[in-house]
Amino acid sequence: MIDQGTLPRAAEFARVARRRRRQPVEAEREILRAATEMIGSDTGTPMTVAALMSRTGLGRSAFYAYFRDLPDLLRRLLHEIEGELAATSAGWFDGTGDPVEDCLRSTRVLVGVHRRHGLVLSAIADAAAADPDLAARYRQTAVDGFADAVTERISRERARGRVAAEQEPQSARALMAMTDAYLRETLGRHPRADPVDVVRTLTLVWTQALYGRPPADGYDPPAHAGTAGTGGPGTTRPSDEPVPPPAGPPGAGGAGAPRPIPGRRNS
């Protein structure tokens, strides 16, 4: 006869066995996915190691088998986004067409990256204030790499007579720093702005500052009420496909972590 009192123990043993059989790469991805979901939630709840790991099938201590601390987790997440951001700056560097239209195309790609990862990038930028290494890496990824590509493009346009010879050398860097802050404000916290309006605003700022003219299709200020991206009654546009959940997020306030990460939210 089966002792019914042994069943809970057997179930627990099976659960532990499943944990042990999990491949390291699978466990690491599970932690990253849980972190992504947690930072993308609109709860405002601070993230801790315990809270993060409760979203996985792993024990709390498993976090430290893959990440030293919160900045280490954030560096890993930033690494996964770097390739997409680099492709955006490559569009500027490699572009050979009308610079204003190339600017519009690059802006659309950049905003697309922030639609997917803006909440994570904002969390990384916040945590970087307490971690010089993370700050330097974020700055290189989100600002300096773009600024260098744009500066090179402007130099080519100046040689062709398309931009003013007296263009301030630091213009690209100043514009990129502004762009990074604006993207974190609009797409890096809840409620998130309509990406179409973000593209329109940034394109106007960049093209007017560098070339003195907007794109050929004339990016007029939005006249609609509300936005599809924030749940208002805005008109759906062709580029307003559903915003996918943000990918790649934060980790927890374990040893060495500067502080728990709050949910990304406007005050």
Q: Is pLDDT of 139 > 90? A: yes
Q: What is the pLDDT of residues 72-100, one digit of tens each?
A: 888 999 999 998 888 887 777 777 778 88
Question: How far, CA to CA in Å, does 42 sit from each of 52, 148, 186, 197?
Answer: 15, 35, 15, 22
Q: Residue range 115-128: average pLDDT?
A: 94
Lowest mean pLDDT among 35-49, 101-115, 130-144: 35-49
pLDDT, residue 202, reads: 96
Least confident interval from 76-80, 133-137, 236-240: 236-240
For residues 18-30, average pLDDT: 74
CA distance 2 to 51: 37
Q: What global pTM score does this model have?
A: 0.71
pLDDT value at 149 more than 50 = yes
Across 138-153, b (16+ Cβ under 10 Å) vs e yields bbebbbbbbbbbbbeb
Confidence (pLDDT) at 62 = 92
Q: What is the mean pLDDT of the chain?
A: 76
Mean pLDDT for the stretch of residues 225-253: 38
Residue 180 confidence (pLDDT):
96
Mean pLDDT of 127-152: 91
Which range among 12-16, 30-34, 142-146, 180-184 shows the weakest confidence by mean pLDDT? 12-16
246-263: per-residue pLDDT in tens?
A: 444 433 333 333 344 544
* Torsion over CA: 134, 50, 33, 30 (sign): positive
Can you say whether the dihedral through the CA atoms of 90, 93, 99, 103 is positive or negative? positive
Which strand (E) or helix (H) includes residue 154? helix 145-159
Torsion of CA 159, 161, 162, 163, to 10 degrees: 80
Tokens of 59: 């024990």
Residue 27 has pLDDT above 80, yes or no: yes
